[in-house]
Chain A
Amino acid sequence: MLLIEADGKALLRQSGIQIPEGQIATTGPAALTGAGPWMVKAQVPVGGRGKAGGVVRCDTKADVGVALRRLVGAPIKGHTVHSCLVEAIIANADEYYLSLMLDPAQYGVRVTLLREGGINVEQNNAAAANSRLCSPEPDAIAAAIRELAVREPANRRTALIDTGEKLAQLFMQRELMLAEINPLFVSDHGCIAGDAKIVVDLDAVHRQPAIATLIERNAATYPEAIRKLRDGFDYVEVDAEGEIGLVTTGAGLSMMLIDELTARGGRPVNFCDIRTGLLRGDPTRLIKVLEWIGARPNVRVLLVSVFGGITDLSEFAPLLCDALERTPSIKVPIVARLIGNRADEARDILAARRPDIAVEEQLPAALDRVGAILRGASR
């Protein structure tokens, strides 16, 4: 998961890498450091926010206020801006690009150091020549950085190597998947990280308290991670204004279902992988998902879809009924698509307890039902 810049920079600072002076702000310019100019940067966990208008240069305090009012609460590439980072502009420095990235196919770390950073670095043709693949060990990464920095003037080389070694330590200690600094400001006074794109491994957070703390502190920014860590399953809101609530299991099938509904003109509210195999007779997880869906204003239909390859559907059906009984906020028509182990028994259970639920065995038929409900046609 990508951290917002401020959290990425917090990790950089903890490892001894310099970052610009700045503060997190949500409203008007209260206590800005320095005399300006400043950069106001929307804190959203997504790349390309500069090109999407999420980074604004401001010369006066009044301008900072205007930028904050415009950005905070607005969406940038589908993510709501909860706060901005306001930083003093770094002048008289060259912009470099430094990154450490996992190479999944080679089981290594790719180290890249470029003399020109900036927002167009992806198109930089020099990238291949200025990167090295090495084994995932701090010493090997540090050696690669020394090799890449060898053409730099001596006064800069030392600072670049020092920053690179600290980044290598951070990368391995915190089990990162990506640590990118772009731009990295380099001058005779040393290196300052102008940005931080840090991707953490949510499966390692249980043994990385420093990262767990950052995520917990910014719960509103990382709702999906918070849910995964606290509740042990995946739920991603894809459209708060959506009309179709989804109770589904399996990441791939759930993603495909969203794609197919969207292609038919539907607006799914959420992705979820509820993991029916782990419910173990307890409807709590189902109730949570139903409550999150029920809290959305435009939901018009609920689609439950479970392929019971391993799951016993006759155990799932009563849990679904229990959960619905305890979630009065779900008042919309329900389509349940159940197929696989003991689907017949599950259908009988639903017919007895919730005859209002339209049960289908085949997915296309269930999607047609959902479409009919959205069009307002009678069942």
Chain B
Amino acid sequence: MTAQIISKLSRHTPVIVQGATGRTGSVHVRRMKEFGTHIVAGVSAREGASLDDVPVFANCRAAVAATGALASVAMVPPNGVLAAMQDVLAAGIRLIVTPAEGVPVHDALRIGRMVKEAGAVWVGPSTPGLAIPGEMKLGFLPNVSLKPGPLGIMSKSGTLSYETGYRLAQIGLGQSIWVGVGGDPVKGVRFADLIDTFMADERTRGIVLIGEVGGNEEEEFADALLKSPTRKPVYALVAGRGAKEGVAMGHAGALTFGEVGTFASKQRQLEAAGARVFATIDQLIEACRQDFAGR
């Protein structure tokens, strides 16, 4: 499901932006358009809202009826995400990115069940979004870090992926597909859901996984990697080795209890599945340079 929907994205995919006329929404609509995203409509409940040359509709159903949109970016505040998801799923859209940080976990549970029921793909919450450099982006991955190339990036962290992606791009290694899955415990697309997408994608020659302590997504990914019939090299960073047990470090998902979700557990399982786990960003960059640069 995830693979079919994400790998079909291109500069021709019609996209709507929910909450498009807000302060943050309007800024990012312009940046997405500059990057090549085909934004066909905005959605705003505010009467008479407008946005450059983009038509604005009162709800997703009207926007989809008028434009045939296939994907949405919901630039709405955390407590508005549940309602925005109800609206967009009812309109038949099957790929939704929700960047908001701070979505209550029980809201995310309800959203997750709705998305599953609808057979849709949800990227978020707490995500900068996803991008196919050279084609389009949904959300606000920074343009300075984006460049077409051979690496598929999946990341729980925005900033750590910006840093890593930027430095890789500086040595000529851009990205095929970049998906920020977000740092929340309950979310839409998880690392393991992306394996088929990255393995099937011909542009992708290597996978960069940027994880964090807490939860068990890295372990799930390691399991899925072992089972994958296709092999591609995996380069991983896991932030939070020094995190304090029982205290979330910024990301609600980055919370360790006892042995569950620790750095050691993630490193052990990722390495057992054939991934390389690096202690520093530099070491990851250097390994990618040796394997890909000049080839």
B residues 217-255 in Cβ contact with A at 8 Å:
220, 237, 239-252, 254-255
Is the C-beta of B266 less than 8 angstroms from some C-beta in chain A?
no
Asked if B116 and A107 make an inter-chain contact with CB atoms under 8 angstroms apart, the answer reads yes
Asked if A102 and B246 make an inter-chain contact with CB atoms under 8 angstroms apart, the answer reads no
Chain B: which residue is nearest A173 at the CB level?
A: B106
Chain B: which residue is nearest A200 at the CB level?
A: B105
Query: Distance (Å) between the CB of B276 and the closest chain A CB?
Result: 16
* Interface stretch of the complex, out of B11-19, B85-93, B138-146, B199-207: B138-146
Is the C-beta of B282 less than 8 angstroms from some C-beta in chain A?
yes
A122 to B145, CA, bound (A): 43
Is the C-beta of B175 less than 8 angstroms from some C-beta in chain A?
no
Q: Report, as a range, how many residues of chain B touch the other chain.
A: 35 or more
A339 to B247, CA, bound (A): 29
Asked if B162 and A102 make an inter-chain contact with CB atoms under 8 angstroms apart, the answer reads no
Asked if B282 and A107 make an inter-chain contact with CB atoms under 8 angstroms apart, the answer reads no
Main secondary structure of the interface of A (DSSP, over half): mixed
Asked if A236 and B160 make an inter-chain contact with CB atoms under 8 angstroms apart, the answer reads no
Chain B, 175-187, contact with A by CB distance < 8 Å: what is the 0/1 string? 0000000010111
Is the C-beta of A1 less than 8 angstroms from some C-beta in chain B?
yes
Chain B, 259-284, contact with A by CB distance < 8 Å: what is the 0/1 string? 10000000000000000000111100
* Interface stretch of the complex, out of A45-53, A66-74, A87-95, A162-170: A45-53
Q: Report, as a range, how many residues of chain A touch the other chain.
A: 35 or more
A350 to B190, CA, bound (A): 41
Is the C-beta of B157 less than 8 angstroms from some C-beta in chain A?
yes
Asked if A122 and B259 make an inter-chain contact with CB atoms under 8 angstroms apart, the answer reads yes
Is the C-beta of A43 less than 8 angstroms from some C-beta in chain B?
no
Take A104-B187, A309-B145 as given contacts and tell me if A255 and B250 are in contact as well, using a CB distance cutoff of 8 Å. yes
Q: Which one of B78, B155, B162, B258 has the highest number of Cβ atoms from chain A below 10 Å of its Cβ? A: B162
Asked if A307 and B113 make an inter-chain contact with CB atoms under 8 angstroms apart, the answer reads no
Q: Which one of B110, B247, B259 has the highest number of Cβ atoms from chain A below 10 Å of its Cβ? A: B247
Chain B: which residue is nearest A174 at the CB level?
A: B106
A122 to B265, CA, bound (A): 15
Asked if B106 and A2 make an inter-chain contact with CB atoms under 8 angstroms apart, the answer reads no
Asked if A177 and B105 make an inter-chain contact with CB atoms under 8 angstroms apart, the answer reads yes
| Residues of A close to B212: CB separation below 8 A | 251-252, 255
Query: Distance (Å) between the CB of B85 and the closest chain A CB?
Result: 13
A236 to B185, CA, bound (A): 19
Take A47-B257, A309-B145 as given contacts and tell me if A104 and B106 are in contact as well, using a CB distance cutoff of 8 Å. no
Asked if A252 and B246 make an inter-chain contact with CB atoms under 8 angstroms apart, the answer reads no
Chain B: which residue is nearest A259 at the CB level?
A: B241
A104 interface neighbour in B113, B215, B237, B259, Cβ under 8 Å: B215
Is the C-beta of B166 less than 8 angstroms from some C-beta in chain A?
yes
A249 to B166, CA, bound (A): 16
Chain A: which residue is nearest B28 at the CB level?
A: A310
Query: Distance (Å) between the CB of B267 and the closest chain A CB?
Result: 12
Asked if B246 and A253 make an inter-chain contact with CB atoms under 8 angstroms apart, the answer reads no
Asked if B257 and A2 make an inter-chain contact with CB atoms under 8 angstroms apart, the answer reads yes
Asked if A254 and B109 make an inter-chain contact with CB atoms under 8 angstroms apart, the answer reads no
| Residues of B close to A255: CB separation below 8 A | 157, 160, 212-213, 239-240, 242-243, 249-250, 254
Asked if A203 and B104 make an inter-chain contact with CB atoms under 8 angstroms apart, the answer reads yes
Query: Distance (Å) between the CB of A76 and the closest chain B CB?
Result: 11
A172 to B241, CA, bound (A): 32
| Residues of A close to B106: CB separation below 8 A | 136, 172, 175, 201, 204
A364 interface neighbour in B166, B190, B282, Cβ under 8 Å: B282
A136 to B144, CA, bound (A): 42
A199 to B252, CA, bound (A): 11
Is the C-beta of A320 less than 8 angstroms from some C-beta in chain B?
no
| Residues of B close to A77: CB separation below 8 A | 245-246
| Residues of B close to A252: CB separation below 8 A | 155-161, 183, 210, 212, 239, 250-251
B185 interface neighbour in A48, A102, A253, A273, Cβ under 8 Å: A102
A175 to B107, CA, bound (A): 9
Is the C-beta of A217 less than 8 angstroms from some C-beta in chain B?
no
Take A107-B116, A136-B109 as given contacts and tell me if A47 and B246 are in contact as well, using a CB distance cutoff of 8 Å. yes
B252 interface neighbour in A48, A201, A253, A307, Cβ under 8 Å: A201
Is the C-beta of B103 less than 8 angstroms from some C-beta in chain A?
yes
Query: Distance (Å) between the CB of B102 and the closest chain A CB?
Result: 5
Is the C-beta of A358 less than 8 angstroms from some C-beta in chain B?
no
Is the C-beta of A271 less than 8 angstroms from some C-beta in chain B?
yes
| Residues of B close to A122: CB separation below 8 A | 258-259
| Residues of B close to A250: CB separation below 8 A | 157-160, 162, 250
Is the C-beta of B112 less than 8 angstroms from some C-beta in chain A?
yes
Asked if B102 and A251 make an inter-chain contact with CB atoms under 8 angstroms apart, the answer reads no
Q: What are 17 A-B interface contacts by the 8 Å CB criterion?
A: A2-B257, A47-B257, A77-B246, A78-B244, A107-B116, A136-B106, A136-B110, A136-B113, A249-B159, A250-B162, A252-B161, A253-B163, A255-B157, A255-B213, A259-B240, A259-B242, A260-B280
- The 4 A-B pairs of least Cβ separation, nearest first, read A252-B157, A250-B159, A251-B250, A309-B142
19 new A-B contacts, CB < 8 A, other than A135-B113, A251-B254, are A45-B247, A47-B245, A79-B246, A104-B185, A122-B258, A177-B105, A201-B104, A203-B105, A234-B249, A251-B251, A252-B158, A252-B159, A252-B160, A252-B212, A255-B243, A256-B239, A259-B242, A309-B144, A309-B145
B contact residues vs A (CB 8 Å cutoff): 78, 102-106, 109-110, 112-113, 116, 140-142, 144-145, 155-163, 166, 183, 185-187, 190, 210, 212-213, 215, 220, 237, 239-252, 254-255, 257-259, 279-282
